[in-house]
Chain A
């Protein structure tokens, strides 16, 4: 048995979700009585070693590599490594690049692929995995018929504890062809602000906020909490907030430790994007609002009065 987890660093470092994936992969490996190899790309060796310390036995620090959007050649370059290190399981987190590699390696190795993995298997032999389907309305148990499977983890899994393992580090320079049919015309590398999908705390506003001019208290709450801002779909559709903040089935799927929903009714399509949150707080003036069915803590009240006193209380 051998288990490999792939992680591509962000800005030459790693995010809390990524350390969670290492911890979760490590519990996978332990339950399967197997070693965990972490394969990293885009991380300097010291950061890769730190990340590996969340539970890997071995870290392969890969550099070189074809351009990121040249996915076929990226897989071509990584293929021998996955084949050697991931005979039983090849694991990925659920960011865009990882999902692309997950699919291409599964297609190439003819491995089954299961996404949305948020729990350890029901059993290892035979391998049975439970995952949510229909936006969380039901759980399914999937039987993986033959050995060799690619799994994609949800964000927010794993209890990351730094330095619980001291992995062996190996550096590997991979070259690869590059496809001349894919040309990068321009590139934006973000403004360095915390990404909504990475944030451990998120403050979110819905139509109950009544208009973009009322976002001040949300911004203030987010700033005292060190949280990122999010919104429901109508809010971004109306242009009150940027589309980047829209969460839900047709927006971003997030899994922070704390999600504060303000003036959001809690429609199923909204909840589909946030039900991976560890703790949900809802502030809504309607005590029958469906958001209270998924929330852990709630205040039935007007955002115009509750938010200012919440901010005041937090500052004290």
Chain B
């Protein structure tokens, strides 16, 4: 069995996001790039599965759509334990385009299980994984909070709003993972970092896709009005404000 983890590279969540002088792009100078947190967890689970005795998982491969800015992040995934990496060489645009580019790659190399994260912490789109499944025509499920292997099939837990199903699914599957899939993300070991230098990072050309969406401008949100302070001991006043001013009580 072969597992692919779709990996997006995102600015560290604590980074300040600066809009460029033309206000039609983000100024990424000095930004610290990291593996999207969900993808880190997906990778962690994929590696845990591979290490189970008799798992039958031959390879865990990370796949990224990105330009060379993503390379250090991809190396980190290799250091964490991925066997190899593929980078489809183009700056990502809207999620349907990224999904199509990924799908074109997955048409050239078959994986039994493709993992994607709930959403990326940059554009918070949360659609790429499902779109990929749609374009590829593989079985596709979101809301996956637990993933196991059972006799060549995938046993997963799917959380919907207020209910949960345990499903047994025949590969190939695209699974969009969320909270619960792994508890703590793995971090690279010294040995892992050394090994990562020689692991294959294959750079492939993208197919041409026509972007349906374009980001034409960025702005900062209006600063929120000042917080109205109530002195401790005056909880009555807070309640009155919530009733008459905010009208939420």
- A residues neighboring B (CB under 8 Å): 10-11, 68-69, 71-72, 75, 95-97, 99-100, 102-104, 106-108, 110-116, 128, 132-146, 152, 179, 181-190, 195, 197-198, 201, 225, 243, 246, 249-251, 257-258, 268-269, 272, 278-279, 281-282, 292-302, 305-306, 309-310, 312-314
Q: Is the pair A132, B124 in contact by a Cβ cutoff of 8 Å?
A: yes
Which of A100, A183, A281 gathers the greatest number of chain B CB atoms within 10 Å? A100
- The residue in chain A whose Cβ has the minimal distance to the Cβ of B238 is A297
The verdict on A100 contacting B230 (CB below 8 Å), with A134-B11, A257-B248 known, is no
Does B224 belong to the interface (CB within 8 Å)?
Answer: yes
Interface residue tally on B, bucketed by range: 35 or more
> Using an 8 Å CB-CB cutoff, how does the interface string of B227-249 with A read, 1 for contact, 0 for none?
11111110110110110001011
What residues of chain B lie closer than 8 Å to A132, measured between beta carbons?
A: 124, 221
Q: A116-B125, A198-B162, A306-B235 are in contact. List 10 more A-B contacts (CB 8 A).
A: A68-B160, A104-B134, A106-B134, A107-B96, A186-B166, A249-B121, A258-B246, A278-B248, A305-B232, A312-B235
Does B126 belong to the interface (CB within 8 Å)?
Answer: yes
The verdict on A71 contacting B179 (CB below 8 Å), with A113-B95, A115-B127, A140-B218 known, is no
**A135 to B122 alpha-carbon distance, docked (Å):** 7
- The residue in chain A whose Cβ has the minimal distance to the Cβ of B127 is A103
Q: Is the pair A103, B131 in contact by a Cβ cutoff of 8 Å?
A: yes
What residues of chain A lie closer than 8 Å to B124, measured between beta carbons?
A: 115-116, 132-135
What residues of chain A lie closer than 8 Å to B141, measured between beta carbons?
A: 69, 71, 100, 182
**A299 to B216 alpha-carbon distance, docked (Å):** 41
What residues of chain B lie closer than 8 Å to A186, measured between beta carbons?
A: 165-166
Q: Is the pair A184, B227 in contact by a Cβ cutoff of 8 Å?
A: no
**A310 to B216 alpha-carbon distance, docked (Å):** 47
Does B30 belong to the interface (CB within 8 Å)?
Answer: no
Q: Is the pair B161, A293 in contact by a Cβ cutoff of 8 Å?
A: no
What residues of chain A lie closer than 8 Å to B225, measured between beta carbons?
A: 296
**A207 to B133 alpha-carbon distance, docked (Å):** 39
Does B135 belong to the interface (CB within 8 Å)?
Answer: yes
- B residues neighboring A (CB under 8 Å): 11, 13-14, 16-17, 19, 26, 37-38, 94-96, 99, 121-127, 129-131, 133-135, 137, 139-143, 155, 158-170, 179-180, 211-221, 224-225, 227-233, 235-236, 238-239, 241-242, 246, 248-249
Q: Is the pair A299, B162 in contact by a Cβ cutoff of 8 Å?
A: no
What residues of chain B lie closer than 8 Å to A108, measured between beta carbons?
A: 134
**A298 to B137 alpha-carbon distance, docked (Å):** 51
CB distance from A27 to the nearest CB of B (A): 20
The verdict on A258 contacting B242 (CB below 8 Å), with A72-B139, A181-B139, A305-B232 known, is yes
Q: Is the pair A188, B239 in contact by a Cβ cutoff of 8 Å?
A: no
What residues of chain A lie closer than 8 Å to B229, measured between beta carbons?
A: 297-300
Q: Is the pair A299, B221 in contact by a Cβ cutoff of 8 Å?
A: no
- The residue in chain A whose Cβ has the minimal distance to the Cβ of B229 is A298
Q: Is the pair B17, A69 in contact by a Cβ cutoff of 8 Å?
A: no
Which of B123, B143, B248 gathers the greatest number of chain A CB atoms within 10 Å? B248
What residues of chain B lie closer than 8 Å to A297, measured between beta carbons?
A: 227-230, 238, 241-242, 246
What residues of chain B lie closer than 8 Å to A300, measured between beta carbons?
A: 229, 232
**A302 to B221 alpha-carbon distance, docked (Å):** 31
**A108 to B136 alpha-carbon distance, docked (Å):** 10
